Amino acid sequence: MKQKRNIDEMIDQLIQEERNEESNPFLSTRVMAAVQEKQYQKVIKINPVWKTVMVTAGITAALFLGISIGNLYESESRNNGIMLSNDGAMENFGFYSQIGEE
Amino acid sequence: MDEFTLIQNILDGSQPDFERLIKIYQPNVFRTAMGLLHNKEDAEEITQDVFLKVYDSLSSFNQRATLSTWIYRVTINTSLNFLKKKKANRVLFSLSSLLGLVSKEKQSEKLVTDKEEKDAIRKAMQELPEKQRLAFVLTKYEELPQKQVAEIMQISEGAVEQLVIRARNNLRKNLEKIMA
């Protein structure tokens, strides 16, 4: 009988001790951080789709711009020749022409 | 703020209201997990998991039961799943004791220290049949009225009473054997 009471007391004592155990006061902060992390991961999960779309759109735009600019350049191009003249040689013309007159 | 408004606000994306919900139910969730797992670190991990599950599945809460009853159910399921995962480790431990890695001499020694006595009680509680253990924890650790325990376990109030009596008797029997 005594042992039975002892066992009951021991059980109740353990229950009381475990009931009095307090959880981490920052647990709610930890949970909120985990919730936010989860939401962030959801955003990341959506991102690869948008990434592909954006890259495809970027390449298309770059190609279109490249072709357009290329076409513009061709239509406005001219075959301008460059004439190089030697100033020193030009002076000599006068000299030779004077000699001829003499 | 009533329960319905709180749930609606959380579903509308209000994080301060969810934090409020955590603060309201955290002691209950932690105590229940503590009663089932008997380990502070594990109980804290379970508490965190429970609230993440609550956040994810609050939209599926049909409000047929009260929010606290639903949270208790989530806590019980999460804790039991955690215990099942841990069982694999316990099987390995039993195997090692069968192979003689754990001294049999020590097992048969009289339990002298306080820690050993507490471990024996914890072990005896873990060995109770699942329904008895749940009824016992909800009644003794949470001190919930029989009516709410019956709602959580989806059984009659009379059945809860019987389960608690049987749990207490089985605990006594198991401990008497250990301490004899």
Residue B64: phi and psi, rounded to 5, are -75, -35
Q: Are residues B81 and B146 in the same domain?
A: no
pLDDT: which is higher, A4 or A71: A71
Q: Are residues B19 and B96 in the same domain?
A: yes
Token code pair at residue A95: 């000299």
∠ CA(B39), CA(B40), CA(B41), 5° rounding? 100
Q: Are residues B83 and B130 in the same domain?
A: no
Q: Are residues B7 and B95 in the same domain?
A: yes
Q: Which of B74, B137, B40 is nearest to A23 (CA)?
A: B40
Q: Which of A3, A86, A42 is nearest to B179 (CA)?
A: A3
Domain end (from B103, B133, B157):
B103
The whole-number pLDDT of residue B29 equals 95
- DSSP run (H or E) holding B131: helix B130-140
Output the CA torsion sign for B51, B24, B156, B140.
positive
The whole-number pLDDT of residue B60 equals 87
- By the CB < 8 Å criterion, does B78 face chain A? no
Distance from CA of B54 to the nearest CA of A (A): 11
Number of independent structural domains in chain B? 2
Of B40, B55, B140, the CB nearest to A35: B55
Query: Residue B65 in contact with residue B74, Cβ under 8 Å?
Result: no
- The average pLDDT across A62-82 equals 74
Alpha-carbon distances, residue A77 vs A28, A67, A80 (angstroms): 70, 16, 9
CATH number at residue B130: 1.10.10.10
The whole-number pLDDT of residue A80 equals 59
Of B47, B140, B175, the CB nearest to A27: B47
The whole-number pLDDT of residue B158 equals 95
Q: Are residues B138 and B167 in the same domain?
A: yes
Distance from CA of A28 to the nearest CA of B (A): 6
- By the CB < 8 Å criterion, does B34 face chain A? yes
Per-residue model confidence as pLDDT tens digits over A31-63: 889 888 887 776 666 677 888 899 999 999 999
Q: Quick check: B172 and A27 CB within 8 A? A: no
The whole-number pLDDT of residue B117 equals 84
Query: Residue B61 in contact with residue B6, Cβ under 8 Å?
Result: no
Per-residue model confidence as pLDDT tens digits over A1-34: 556 668 888 899 999 999 998 888 888 888 889 8
pLDDT values of chain B reduced to their tens digit, one per residue, 180 residues: 788 888 899 888 888 999 999 999 999 999 999 999 999 999 999 999 999 999 999 988 887 889 999 999 999 999 999 999 887 666 655 655 555 554 444 444 555 577 888 888 898 998 899 999 999 999 999 999 999 999 999 999 999 999 999 999 999 988 888 776
Task: Give A93's pLDDT tier (boundaries 50, 70, 90).
Answer: low
Q: Are residues B69 and B137 in the same domain?
A: no
Host domain of residue B64: 1-103
- By the CB < 8 Å criterion, does B133 face chain A? no
Domain end (from B103, B120, B154):
B103
CATH number at residue B66: 1.10.1740.10
Q: Is B137 exposed, middle or buried (0-12, 13-18, 19+ CB in 10 A)?
A: buried
Long-range CB pairs of B38-44, under 8 A, 24+ apart, other chains included: B38/A18, B38/B122, B38/B125, B38/B126, B40/A21, B40/A23, B42/B82, B43/A21, B43/A23, B44/A23, B44/A24, B44/A27
Pairwise CA distance, residues B103 & B100, whole Å: 6
- The average pLDDT across A64-93 equals 68
Q: Are residues B79 and B129 in the same domain?
A: no
Domain end (from B103, B133, B165):
B103
Distance from CA of B133 to the nearest CA of A (A): 13
Q: Are residues B119 and B178 in the same domain?
A: yes
Count of H-run helices and E-run strands, chain B = 9, 0
The whole-number pLDDT of residue B77 equals 95
Of A18, A23, A32, the CB nearest to B47: A23
- By the CB < 8 Å criterion, does A55 face chain B? no
The whole-number pLDDT of residue B104 equals 47
Tell me what ipTM this predicted complex has: 0.78
Q: How far apart are the first and last CA of chain A?
A: 156
Pairwise CA distance, residues B83 & B77, whole Å: 10
Q: Are residues B87 and B117 in the same domain?
A: no
Token code pair at residue B62: 């049909």
Pairwise CA distance, residues B15 & A19, whole Å: 29
Q: Residue A84 carries which side chain, given as an amino acid letter?
A: L
Q: Quick check: B52 and A35 CB within 8 A? A: yes
pLDDT: which is higher, A75 or A33: A33
Q: Quick check: B35 and A23 CB within 8 A? A: no
Alpha-carbon distances, residue B125 vs A89, A92, B54, B136, B173 (angstroms): 116, 121, 27, 9, 11
List CB contacts (< 8 A) between A36 and chain B. Answer: 15
Q: Are residues B2 and B80 in the same domain?
A: yes
Q: Are residues B136 and B179 in the same domain?
A: yes
Q: Are residues B99 and B119 in the same domain?
A: no
Q: Quick check: A31 and B52 CB within 8 A? A: yes
Pairwise CA distance, residues A59 & B179, whole Å: 78
Of B35, B171, B179, the CB nearest to A11: B171
Location of structure tokens 């100033």:
A87
